[in-house]
Amino acid sequence: MPLTTPTEDAFAKRLLHWFDQHGRKDLPWQHDTTAYRVWLSEIMLQQTQVSTVIPYYQRMTNAYPNVQALAAAPLDEVLHHWTGLGYYARARNLHKTAQTISTEHDGIFPDSVEQLQALPGIGRSTAGAICAIAHHRHCAILDGNVKRVLARHSAIAGWPGKTAVAKQLWDIAESHTPAQRTGDYTQAIMDLGATVCTRSKPACTQCPVSTDCQAFIREETQHYPGKKAPKAIPVRQTLLLIIRNQHNKVLLQQRPPSGIWGGLWSFPECPDETELSNSCERVGVKIHSYQLTDTLRHTFSHFHLDYTPVHIRTHGPATRVADSSQRWVNPAAHGEIGLPAPILALLKALRSF
């Protein structure tokens, strides 16, 4: 559906007036605005709070000031800078997209939603944000914050993940997006959702569009947007094998490029204690002694992982020929490699174990 071009949409006018007075204008990606910097911030902000993203964003832009620098970097290094931010598929797609833009687009970001959406990890809303903020195009967005604002303002019932609900919200988003100051409007509506129309305890008295907000008028802000039907979250269990050699180094393996912690380095895994010997033999070591410690939990978006660290001392030198997917590292100086947050925490704990 093409964007409408209202000469003066009342919703947009009030929102822009509020943004001029109260909007955030000092975030790192709001300075020296380029398509690269907007894209990087939009990917990092997916399902992640601004306060968490800022130091990661600053490290990434210092390390990779432009898309060519990011494209040329080894994936391991990129994942290292991403360690702790979670949802690592974002980092892998970031790297793929940087390489595609460098090789197929001469290092220049496309300026249309359709072309941007064809790149890894860029959806319709992210593409719209890049076009609106960096290219000054008349494009709408619909990220999580915007969905919440619009669902409440127009009392759109249902979970936004449903196709019919999403279509309603996109239609509303497009109808409100002004032809002038589209970039500022885009920043404004994201800001409103992040700072005023928050998930819990929204500050409705401070909202510039509350006078005709249907959820506020009905005193039903807590009902919008609708929630996804809850599902029981499955639990997976594994043993993480913290194998030390005679030099007090530990063994890490690089995980397959796709799937959970794809491309990151982790400890070898084992399904249960009865398989310890076999699992160690597969990585080329024999057990001298081992000790199980307390089980810990890491929660992903769709399951819990209960992992039990097993500290293993080896008997004799490793028999497996070293390859690029396996390395012995010093827990205190493991190098610039991508590590999941739980593995990084275990390595830090090993220094005093």
Q: What is the pLDDT of residue 317?
A: 67
pLDDT tens digits, one per residue of 272-298: 998 999 999 888 888 989 999 999 999
- Range with the poorest average pLDDT among 81-90, 282-291, 315-324: 315-324
4 pLDDT higher than 90: no
According to CATH, the topology of domain 10-223 is: Endonuclease III; domain 1 (1.10.340)
Q: How confident is the model at residue 7 (pLDDT cuts 50, 70, 90)?
A: very low
For the chain, give the mean pLDDT: 91
Q: In the chain, where do the E strands start and end?
A: 235-244, 250-254, 265-266, 269-270, 287-292, 296-299, 304-314, 326-329
Grouping H, G, I as helix, E, B as strand and the rest as coil, residue 85 is coil
pLDDT tens digits, one per residue of 178-210: 999 999 999 999 999 999 999 999 999 999 999
What pTM, to 2 d.p., does this model score?
0.81
pLDDT tens digits, one per residue of 41-65: 999 999 899 999 999 999 999 999 9
Q: What is the pLDDT of residue 245?
A: 87
Q: Decide if 42 is catalytic.
A: yes
Q: What is the pLDDT of residue 6?
A: 38
Tell me the percentage of the chain whose pLDDT exceeds 70: 95
CATH of 235-350, one of 3.90.79.10, 3.30.70.250, 3.40.1260.10, 3.40.50.300: 3.90.79.10
Q: Is there a contact between 50 and 27 (Cβ–Cβ < 8 Å)? A: yes
pLDDT tens digits, one per residue of 132-157: 999 999 999 999 999 999 999 999 99
Q: How confident is the model at residue 257 (pLDDT cuts 50, 70, 90)?
A: confident
Listed by start position, the domains of the chain span 10-223, 235-350
Q: What is the per-residue burial (b if ≥16 Cβ within 10 Å, else e) of 83-117?
A: bebbebebbbebbebbbebbeeeeeebbeebeebe
2 pLDDT higher than 50: no
CA dihedral (55, 189, 48, 33) in degrees, to 10, reads -40
Mean pLDDT in residue range 226-230: 88
Active-site entry in 42, 269, 281, 336: 42
